[in-house]
Amino acid sequence: MNILLASTSTLFGGNYLEYITDEIAQLFEGISEIVFIPYARPSGISHEKYTANAADFFKTLNIQVKGLHEFENPISALNNAKGYFTGGGNTFLLVKMLHENGLMEVLKQNITSGKPYLGTSAGSNIAGLNMKTTNDMPIVYPPSFDCMGLVNFNLNPHYLDPNPDLKHNGETRETRIKEFLTQNDTKVVGLREGNWIRKIGEKTTVEGREKTRIFEKGKEPYEIEAGTEL
Amino acid sequence: MNILLASTSTLFGGNYLEYITDEIAQLFEGISEIVFIPYARPSGISHEKYTANAADFFKTLNIQVKGLHEFENPISALNNAKGYFTGGGNTFLLVKMLHENGLMEVLKQNITSGKPYLGTSAGSNIAGLNMKTTNDMPIVYPPSFDCMGLVNFNLNPHYLDPNPDLKHNGETRETRIKEFLTQNDTKVVGLREGNWIRKIGEKTTVEGREKTRIFEKGKEPYEIEAGTEL
């Protein structure tokens, strides 16, 4: 397998995918065209506009981008593609579209067979076992929360540490993930912005500029350094 | 109808239900025992412990509390009860339990017939049309997102204004609710902590110390004062 799962597409004050350009170039080395999956629609933007944003970035790497919505038959589009990028947005919307159109399994098979995959945020969530640790609002009802399981854990992208100054009683991210662990025995990788997961062959590591917080049932959460194997 | 839907059970630095004691006393006037629905299990605490917490508060009002989990037949327990309180926690867990045990509709019928209902946070969410504007993590998969529809809108409890100082690219609450409105034509009441919704008969008002932010499809979000009819 050859996959890169980023916490976010854009760092605060940075440009789209900028901080991770070198890693993306390496991921898609030798490939001149990829399929972009725009279904997560951040802020509700159209598939066309979202695909154009992705294409703008990939132009700088001399890689052509086609949106999956442009194809009459998205299943054969996935089967014929050389590589994939799924952008962030709303995970419920993304997972609903993938399941309803029979694409989750097709995408998984292609990636498992070695085609490179880039995910950011919601696009990273779907590489986990299921979407039960997304931060997104359940704006639509997907037929299942199951995802591709390209890695044997769940992700929490945009992982955010508790803010001690916040005078607010909504749950912290850590509280939410601990609630998940009362109902599920699945490792959760709290991926801070600026970090990503890289899987090459059977080896999965966490990379980037921050430590990564790991949550497991029956253990205190703990931190691992960039480069650590997952 | 006679219902009170609070954004939160506890204000920052306050005690459980303290800020809303007078309103609760009024809601349950003349009633000496209510049923508590503990299914949302905040931080994964047990039904027993959660019910004990609620009972502690209601002792000060001379109202006895029985947890719904204590009854062999929860449907007849709901039908025989004089009033209800559903506490906060995880909305997915709460809605899953209510649907799987056939309780959502039974609770709705009893409240519609005039029995008083108190909800906080997740317990307020289930009074809306559906749970698609909860802030909670989807830690379990409910058979449906539909809720009781005691009011003709959705709630977003613990509504939180964007923090301009946060150097983080996760979505703000406002962005999430706007994404909801790209997929649904349902009014959303952004209920800040310290506020509640009160419905007596056919009249629904928003109450409390803060303004309330309203989101509707095709309109800019707007603010309403306490006392405004919804």
Average pLDDT over residues A154-162: 93
Asked if B41 lies within 8 A of A10 by C-beta distance, the reply is no
Q: Residue A97's pLDDT is what?
A: 98
Asked if B136 lies within 8 A of A171 by C-beta distance, the reply is yes
Mutation for testing the B interface, residue in A134, A167, A179 having most B CBs under 10 Å: A179
Whole-angstrom Cα distance, residue B208 to residue B52?
A: 27
The count of CB pairs under 8 A between chains A and B is 127
Give residue ranges of B with CB < 8 Å to any A CB.
8-13, 41-44, 89-90, 92-93, 131-141, 144-145, 158, 160, 167-171, 175-184, 193
Selection from B78, B111, B99, B98 nearest residue B199 by Cα: B111
Confidence check: pLDDT of B15 > 70: yes
Q: What is the mean pLDDT of chain A?
A: 96
Residue of chain A with shortest Cα separation from B144: A141
- B9 included as an active-site residue: no
Three-state SS at A2:
strand
Average pLDDT over residues B99-103: 98
Q: What is the pLDDT of residues B148-181, one digit of tens each?
A: 999 999 999 999 988 877 777 678 899 999 999 9
Q: How far is A31 from chain B (nearest CA, A)?
A: 29
Whole-angstrom Cα distance, residue B68 to residue B51?
A: 9
Confidence check: pLDDT of B56 > 80: yes
Residue of chain B with shortest Cα separation from A145: B141
Selection from B184, B193, B191, B189 nearest residue B218 by Cα: B184
Q: How far is A139 from chain B (nearest CA, A)?
A: 5
The percentage of residues in chain A with a pLDDT greater than 70, rounded to a whole number, is 100
pTM more than 0.80: yes
Length reported for chain B? 230
Confidence check: pLDDT of A198 > 80: yes
Q: How many helices (H) and strands (E) does chain A have?
A: 7, 11
User: Active-site residues of A: which are they?
Assistant: 121, 136, 158
Q: What is the pLDDT of residues A166-184, one digit of tens each?
A: 777 678 899 999 999 999 9
Whole-angstrom Cα distance, residue A10 to residue A159?
A: 14
Query: Which residues of chain A lie closer than 8 angstroms to B39, CB-CB?
Result: none
Q: Residue B170's pLDDT is what?
A: 74
Q: Pseudo-torsion of CA B19, A169, A91, A4, nearest 10°?
A: 180
Instruction: Please report the ipTM that was assigned to this predicted complex.
Output: 0.94
